[in-house]
Structure 1
């Protein structure tokens, strides 16, 4: 009788502790030692009557032939172990560019979307991943470096919604030992050695440094810390849930709270209640700064002030109530009905413009600065930006366009108003609302160079780099945005929408009907 290796016994026992014998689960399998050990162990459990399993492998469109090799290896392993295997192909790089995400974040979002799609098709009770102790330690470090509260520092949970992570308490070495004991041939992802990715730098550089210099057992120590923090976070979440049930009043697309009772809560509980209201109305992500702004509105009881949040959610204090409303700018519904989604809120724009103004003021200290504003669209941005540049400057204007009434550049630049200021020997900064193809900006800067300024730089609020037809890059950029037609804060379509206080993506149906 074959003797079961300790690693094999421990892995299978650990998985059984979190999975139900009568349920069907979807396993996320990349082809590495961690996920192949998980898949093999689950196949063995299925043979013993403990659950049923299928596999999903997601190929992210990043590694070419190497990724296809891994996909085929997973398919072969699943066939040998009697596990149904589904493969999904996604394009992480293009999704990252379109949504202003890192490649890592884009790949993660697409991967989980694919896993949930297959899980729903297969009627899976949950998705099972192979995250282990080392992954947990890396997650804690990443969130600590980025800045996080208790909820974030608690790391990944063994059970969280539709995700189960049964291996979080196991070291990677045990999973590698399992694969060796069972003769499993694993795949190696070359991008795991690329320190351009933040998580890889943490794993390959920061963790070894901490092990050498501070604590040889730093990985299990951090994993235990995350587990302890998770207990505390769960306690606070329960307190917040109780407070939310007692105080929140939900009506259609609004959630309101009595201010007196809400302010009496401890701040740790109160902030969780506020965030809960935002997510209840369909919010997706809420930054620390926005959470603090909502709390400040509550504590100051600032009547009449509106805080605009992503996903079209507003917060207002009125009649001793703090109200979250899923309504945007009700006073002009028709214009706002034309907006598909808010890309940049007024608060985001204001904060970024202030940052740009400070940077420009520092760069041009003791210089003779002339700002040239490209009308009409840049007027809103330029007005706010020049007020944020705390130094003497002069302002001039040009009118040029390559759009007309369409949604894409015509390629032909028309100059209707030239500068009146003598810019010879001066330091010139050209301000526009958006760089798209780069045609207009390139033509204008080429023209201005004939006037022999001492220096010539450019600033744009938005950069739609995917549309670029030349190598132009602005010296100061507010936001990189996806290839969508955007309006608001000076940006228009056929002269409309400039007066929106935010920047939103225009519904295609709007320019289709015009």
Structure 2
């Protein structure tokens, strides 16, 4: 297994724990340090982290320099995260490692839940950081950040203090430095643990609903030539939580479109509240009701003609197929960025 090591207290404590436990479990353990090149002196920080990992007995220890591409959405944190996980997966595949361990703590989880709530997200986002995703394992989600700090101090380890973790231009830093302390002060201790517990409950619910929605998706969705067709009768009989998941999944898998709550409800209205309204324009997708189907088509195709022209080519097209488009709808953790 490989530890994703930034040199901060969380990952350094994890590296020490893994170095101690892995031999006793009959496993080999190494580390990967990702240098994002976003701060002056980042190469030195990466090498210092690697030195401490080697001193703990981890082997091999790799240092990988990545290029963080500019992104229009998500900001530098998201771009750094994408580059980081790509480098970690590349190292895992190269070495044949079974897993990559990251050091996200209960505090990270609480911050993630608050950010999800602030965005008005659904249960999947509020479920926070998953303890496992593919080959990524996060064994410290039940531990506080204070615990990792104490672990480093007890073992004379010298964690690096990322200046980005004090930069209040990041929403996560503002949550950590201002919001969480205020919640603890006003509501009492244990807020982080309670938010983490809420994430576990939300994840259980989201997993169950996603499984049911997958069954509904198999019955209700039919991909076609440049379009996706939704069976109105099947979706109308389903609970809203399942119907809306199927609509979002159909748009995402069919066209790479990410629908927010308002977009999803607008498309769902073609299923459960159709009164002859014309096509719905949501990001990346036209949605149009044609007889007993709702059809999704890519918005950038035949833009001037609208989806009705495409709908008319299929079976069951009636007077609705040529309707003009309706009003356009509105648009729709991992903190280390060294």
TM-score (norm 2): 0.81
| 1:122 paired residue among 73, 86, 95 | 95
Which of 28, 31, 35 is the matching residue for 1:52? Answer: 28
Cα distance in 2, alignment partners of residues 278 and 71 from structure 1: 41
Trace 1:247-396 onto structure 2 (pairs within 5 A): 247-251=220-224, 254-281=227-254, 283=256, 285-301=258-274, 305=279, 307-310=281-284, 313-325=285-297, 328-330=300-302, 351=330
- After superposition, the CA RMSD in angstroms is 2.9
CA contact (8 A) 1:303 1:318 kept: no
Give the superposition deviation at 1:281: 2.5
Question: Is residue 75 of structure 1 aligned with residue 47 of structure 2?
Answer: no
Partners of 1:184 and 1:262 in 2: how far apart?
Answer: 57
Higher strand share: 1
Greater CA drift, 82-91 or 166-175: 82-91
- Post-superposition shift, 1:182? 2.8
Q: Could you report, residue by residue, the CA deviation over 1:315-356 in whole angstroms, capped at 9, with x for unpaired residues?
A: 333231123345841589xxxxxxxxxxxxx9998748xxxx
Q: Name the counterpart of 2:168.
A: 195
Distance 1:50 1:252, change over 3 A: farther
Q: What is the aligned partner in structure 2 of residue 151 from structure 1?
A: 124
Can you list the C-alpha shifts for 1:136-162, whole angstroms capped at 9, x where unaligned?
001111111122111111111112344
Shift of 1:297: 3.0
**After superposition, what is the alpha-carbon deviation per residue over 1:266-292, rounded to whole angstroms, capped at 9, x for unaligned?**
111111111122232352633223222
- 8 Å CA contact 1:133–1:170 kept in 2: the answer is yes
What's the CA shift string for 1:475-508, capped at 9, x where partnerless? xxxxxxxxxxxxxxxxxxxxxxxxxxxxxxxxxx
- How many angstroms apart in 2 are the aligned matches of 1:162 and 1:236? 23
| Counterpart in the other structure of 1:42 | 18
Stretches of structure 1 that go unaligned for 5 or more consecutive residues are 1-24, 333-345, 353-514
Does the residue aligned with 1:307 lie in a helix, a strand or coil?
strand
- 1:95 aligned onto 2:70: yes
CA 1:215–1:189 in structure 2 vs 1: closer, same or farther (change >3 Å)? same
d(CA) in 1 for partners of 2:77 and 2:48?
Answer: 23
Sort the Cα spacing of 1:40 and 1:349 in 2 relative to 1 into closer, same or farther, 3 A.
farther
The structure with the largest alpha-carbon Rg is 1
Q: What is the distance in 1 between the residues matched to 2:327 and 2:61?
A: 43
The 1:51/1:280 distance shift into structure 2, 3 A limit, reads: farther
Q: How many residues align?
A: 310
1:485 corresponds in structure 2 to none
Q: Determine if the alignment matches structure 1 residue 243 to structure 2 residue 203.
A: no
